[in-house]
């Protein structure tokens, strides 16, 4: 494997999440999936139960400098479809370039592939955690980190899964926006980006130069949370590597008339 083949998150890796889970059309009843006035620590008590899956392994039989695989994920007992989706998504987010689909669909299959192809000091970290939980909604944050022998730094990818507990399907951006409101969503996201820029020292030192290198761009990688809609970007998508994985928060107050009512807090969406 080479670092160059992993520089971009393959489009098929993200599209496969929706293919596997199906397309959701929203709740059967017009009931908010985000209870008003409750933070994530309160709503998660009524959400899906989770169990951690954690392990660290090196290539079997290897001594000295050995490739390493670290998994820090979750499963959802009683919800096999979501557990399988998380496993599948983390595996395929490793990517092998955009020319073909990977020869694996699960973490176990990826591990077999990795041991056969990894260089001595290669390391892969697969991480999944719940970002938000309520009775009707489970939001899982996926992050993969890949560190290749001889590379200056690692390559990361990130993806949210917004899971409707009732329909057991992933919610895409088209599912949560009102018809014809994509441009309004982008405008709200750009306003959040403008606020975020004010927290970046490099932007403050050279605003024009920063925006030439790192202009705003919209993303469909979003999470519904207790605070608002969070949009998250991968390395180099919105900022230099040193900025990590940038997040933009769009408060629900800025999404009135943009999000469907069931994806706004109960009081706000009425």
What CATH number did the domain enclosing 225 receive?
Answer: 3.90.640.20
Q: Are 72 and 181 within one domain?
A: no
Q: Are 178 and 118 within one domain?
A: no
CA-based nearest residue to 141, from 70, 222, 25, 82? 222
Six token digits for residue 157: 């990818």
Give me the pLDDT at residue 210, please: 95
Which residue bears the tokens 């954690």?
54
pLDDT per position in the chain (270 positions), as tens? Answer: 333 333 344 444 554 555 455 555 554 445 788 988 788 888 888 899 999 999 999 999 999 999 999 999 999 999 999 999 999 999 999 975 554 678 999 999 999 999 999 999 999 999 999 999 999 999 999 999 999 988 877 889 999 999 999 999 999 999 999 999 999 999 999 999 999 999 999 999 999 999 999 999 999 999 999 999 999 999 889 999 889 999 999 999 999 999 999 999 976 544
Boundary (domain end) residue, out of 119, 135, 170? 170
- Are the C-beta atoms of 252 and 259 separated by less than 8 Å? yes
CA-based nearest residue to 135, from 170, 166, 89, 90? 166
What secondary structure letter does DSSP report for 247? E
Q: Are 116 and 222 within one domain?
A: no
Give domain status of residue 124, yes or no.
yes
CATH number of the domain to which 99 belongs:
3.30.565.40
Give domain status of residue 102, yes or no.
yes
Boundary (domain end) residue, out of 170, 189, 208? 170
- Edge to edge, the sheet with strand 68-75 lists 51-58, 68-75, 123-133, 137-147, 155-164, 169-170
Give me the pLDDT at residue 152, please: 78
Give me the pLDDT at residue 16, please: 54
Boundary (domain end) residue, out of 170, 198, 222? 170
Give domain status of residue 70, yes or no.
yes
Q: Are 251 and 184 within one domain?
A: yes
Give domain status of residue 139, yes or no.
yes
Give domain status of residue 25, yes or no.
no
Q: Are 53 and 143 within one domain?
A: yes
Give me the pLDDT at residue 24, please: 58
Give domain status of residue 15, yes or no.
no
Q: Are 75 and 126 within one domain?
A: yes
Number of domains in the chain: 2
Give me the pLDDT at residue 153, please: 79
Give me the pLDDT at residue 242, please: 87
Give domain status of residue 119, yes or no.
yes
Which residue bears the tokens 């990894």?
118
Q: What are the tens digits of pLDDT across the range 55-68?
A: 999 999 999 999 99
Distance of alpha carbon 87 from alpha carbon 75, whole angstroms = 9
Distance of alpha carbon 134 from alpha carbon 223, whole angstroms = 13
Q: Are 102 and 113 within one domain?
A: yes
Question: What H or E segment, with its residue span, contains residue 146?
Answer: strand 137-147
Q: Are 151 and 188 within one domain?
A: no
Q: Are 228 and 123 within one domain?
A: no
Q: Are 74 and 192 within one domain?
A: no
Q: Are 136 and 242 within one domain?
A: no
State which residues form the domain around 122: 36-170
Give domain status of residue 10, yes or no.
no
Q: Are 110 and 208 within one domain?
A: no
Q: What are the tens digits of pLDDT across the range 126-170?
A: 999 999 999 999 999 999 999 998 887 788 999 999 999 999 999
User: What is the DSSP track for 170-225?
Assistant: EPPHHHHBPTT-HHHHHHHHHHHHHHHHTT-HHHHH-HHHHHHHS-----S-EEE-
């Amino acid at each position: 494997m080479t670092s160059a083949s992993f520089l971009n998150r393959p489009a098929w890796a993200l599209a496969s999440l929706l293919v596997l889970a199906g397309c959701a059309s929203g709740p059967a009843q017009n009931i908010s999936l985000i209870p008003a006035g409750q933070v994530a620590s309160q709503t998660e008590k009524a959400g899906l139960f989770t169990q951690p899956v954690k392990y660290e392994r090196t290539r079997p039989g290897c001594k000295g400098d050995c490739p390493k695989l670290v998994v820090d994920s979750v499963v959802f007992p009683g919800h096999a479809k979501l557990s399988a989706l998380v496993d599948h998504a983390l595996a395929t987010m490793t990517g092998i370039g955009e020319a073909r689909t990977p020869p694996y669909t699960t973490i176990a299959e990826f591990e077999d592939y990795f041991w056969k192809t990894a260089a001595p000091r290669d390391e892969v970290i697969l991480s999944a955690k719940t970002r938000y939980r309520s009775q009707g909604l489970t939001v899982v944050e996926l992050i993969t980190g890949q560190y290749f022998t001889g590379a200056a730094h690692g390559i990361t990818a990130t993806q949210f899964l917004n899971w409707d507990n009732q329909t057991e399907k992933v919610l895409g951006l088209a599912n949560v926006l009102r018809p014809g409101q994509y441009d309004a969503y982008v405008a709200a996201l750009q306003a959040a980006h403008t606020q975020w820029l004010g927290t970046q020292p490099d932007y403050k030192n050279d605003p024009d130069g920063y925006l030439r290198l790192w202009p705003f761009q919209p993303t469909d990688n979003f999470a519904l949370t207790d605070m608002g809609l969070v949009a998250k970007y991968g390395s180099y998508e919105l900022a230099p590597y040193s900025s990590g994985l940038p997040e933009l928060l769009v408060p629900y107050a800025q999404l009135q008339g943009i999000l469907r009512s069931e994806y706004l807090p109960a009081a706000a969406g009425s």
